[in-house]
Amino acid sequence: MYRDYLSTEKKPDEIYAPARVIPQGETPFRDEYEAYIRAYPGRGTLKVQISVARGAFPLKNVLVDVSQIYNGVRYSLYNDVTDISGIVDNMVLPARSIESTLNFDTAQIPEAEYLVTVFHPDFKELTDCTVVIHDKTETILPVSLVPLTGERDDG
């Protein structure tokens, strides 16, 4: 895609898909989101690093899905693909506030856990890797994928 931009007269917004814009007021949890945000008012970030050969080579174009199970329903919060460095970052997620850990009444609220699924057609899929997000902290999840053995069904 980047090469297409360099070799044509087109503007970047004519080649690249526009960024997904969530209409104001729309949330992944809809009505349940406000209750979730009240329970988890803190914010932490998640960075996922995908590589192969035990971390030797970054892997681009890997689909990373971050979801959460809340009240028995699975909600997908982020879907993105890795860049040339094998990274998807700047995923801001709700977390317990630091203050809530100091207050006895709110200390019983569990940590904010998210499920990360990683997919690339040439590698074994990693499903529902649990990651905990903390307030005012960047959590880095390094993932090393294992190549599929044998031939693929699609040729």
CB–CB of 43/136 below 8 Å? yes
Domains along the sequence of the chain with CATH: 41-145 (2.60.40.1120)
- Please indicate, yes or no, whether the overall pTM of this predicted structure exceeds 0.85: no
- Can you read off the two tokens belonging to residue 52? 């192969």
Question: Which amino acid is located at 155 in the chain?
Answer: G
- pLDDT tens sequence for the chain (155 residues): 334 434 556 554 454 444 444 444 445 566 777 777 788 889 999 999 999 987 789 999 999 999 988 878 788 889 999 999 999 999 999 998 888 777 777 667 788 999 999 999 999 999 999 999 999 999 999 999 999 876 555 54
- Can you read off the two tokens belonging to residue 14? 């004519």
Q: Strand locations in 33-125, DSSP E?
A: 42-52, 57-58, 63-70, 73-81, 87-95, 112-119
